[in-house]
């Protein structure tokens, strides 16, 4: 349920003209047993749809950014408003399955995960597994990423399989290099200790960078498939496909220059 008083978990969602998908995400959250607050950091929306969402969910916290500030900056702004000591960063094109938020809140209360970053299992709308935990990118991974020509031409090649962790049972809890920011949770103190998302990354790779800094700081990153979300990939970026591709490559270059120069 979405509440505005004493939430056990704060859910931060960045919106960019994804109100139809966001409506479904909010319904999935409202149907949970866990009392949570939802903060929408709005990089861009249509007024009539925004008003409809706020009217349907009176406890919703809507934080207009005033411009398209990027994913990292908007996520950081939303996190600063959070009243719970547990944070979940969630894409607007997701839906939480089952009673996942109660499970997630309990996990973050457990001593073994209290100082960790948790990545939820992610499924496509047809139920198939999205490979949402991976090894850190290397120059080989640059050639073998999910969107690379090599992966498209030969999806079973060894480089792609290693980077995308196709060799691992995605039903198992496991410590990994990085998890997707589409459904990423942690304690507020962990997020603040790491300095939040690096706003140099406008879109893409901010989750990889955060997990890289977590590793360097001794913070474990855990793939946690006890919590499952359904994800319609790219609902926001599909509005501006060529710009999204440019952002992806710019962020990729920033990451490789920082960690592999």
Query: In this predicted model, what pLDDT tens digit does every residue of 83-94 receive, in sequence order?
Result: 999 999 999 999
The pLDDT tens digits for 115-167 are 999 999 999 989 999 999 999 987 666 665 555 666 666 666 676 777 778 88
Measured CA to CA, the distance from residue 246 to residue 63 in angstroms comes to 27
Give me the domains of the chain, ranges plus CATH numbers.
9-260 (3.90.550.10)
Report pLDDT for 153. 66
pLDDT of 26 higher than 60? yes
Look at residue 260 in the predicted model and tell me its pLDDT.
Answer: 82
Query: Distance (Å, rounded) from C-alpha 12 to C-alpha 61?
Result: 10
Does residue 235 carry a pLDDT above 60? no
| Higher-confidence position of 30 and 139 | 30
SS3 content of the chain, % helix, strand, coil (to 5): 40, 25, 40
- How do residues 81-123 score in pLDDT, each as one tens digit? 999 999 999 999 999 999 999 999 999 999 999 999 999 999 9
pLDDT at 168: 86
pTM of the model: 0.92
> What does pLDDT average to over the chain?
91
DSSP class of residue 223 equals: E
pLDDT for the residue 240: 59
Task: Give the three-state DSSP class for 224.
Answer: strand
- pLDDT (mean) for 197-215: 97
Candidates 225, 215, 223; CA nearest to 190 is 215
Cβ burial, residue 190 (10 Å; 0-12/13-18/19+): buried
Residue 132 neighbours by CB under 8 Å, 6+ apart: 119, 120, 121, 122, 179, 180, 182, 183, 223
Pick from 176, 184, 260: nearest CA to 220 = 176
**What pLDDT does 160 receive?**
72
Whether 242 shows a pLDDT value over 80: the answer reads: no
pLDDT at 220 over 60: yes
% of residues, the chain, pLDDT over 90:
75
Q: How far is CA 74 from CA 122, 166, 244, in A?
A: 22, 32, 17
Rounded distance, CA 19 to CA 101, Å?
21
Rounded-to-integer distance, Cα 254 and Cα 261, Å: 10
Q: Is the pLDDT of residue 214 over 60?
A: yes
């Amino acid at each position: 349920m979405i509440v505005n008083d004493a939430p056990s978990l704060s859910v931060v969602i960045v919106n960019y003209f994804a109100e139809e998908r966001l409506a479904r995400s909010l319904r999935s959250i409202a149907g949970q047993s866990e009392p949570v607050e939802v903060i929408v950091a709005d990089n861009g929306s249509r007024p009539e749809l925004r008003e409809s969402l706020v009217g349907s969910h009176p406890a919703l916290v809507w934080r207009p950014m005033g411009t398209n500030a990027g994913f990292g900056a908007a996520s950081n702004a939303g996190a600063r408003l959070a009243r719970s000591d547990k944070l979940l960063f969630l894409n607007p094109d997701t839906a939480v399955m089952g009673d996942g938020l109660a499970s997630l809140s309990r996990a973050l209360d457990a001593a073994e995960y209290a100082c960790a970053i948790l990545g939820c299992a992610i499924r496509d709308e047809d139920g198939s597994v999205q490979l949402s935990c991976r090894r850190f990118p290397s120059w080989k991974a640059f050639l073998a990423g999910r969107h690379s020509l090599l992966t498209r031409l030969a999806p079973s090649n060894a480089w792609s399989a290693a980077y995308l962790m196709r060799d691992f049972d995605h039903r198992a809890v496991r410590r990994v290099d990085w998890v997707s920011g589409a459904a990423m949770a942690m304690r507020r103190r962990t997020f603040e200790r790491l300095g939040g998302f690096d706003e140099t990354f406008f879109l893409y790779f901010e989750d990889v960078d955060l997990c890289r800094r977590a590793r360097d700081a001794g913070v474990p990153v855990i793939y946690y498939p006890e919590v499952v979300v359904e994800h319609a990939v790219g609902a926001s970026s599909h509005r501006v496909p060529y710009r999204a591709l440019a952002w992806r490559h710019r962020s990729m270059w920033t990451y490789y220059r920082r960690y592999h120069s």
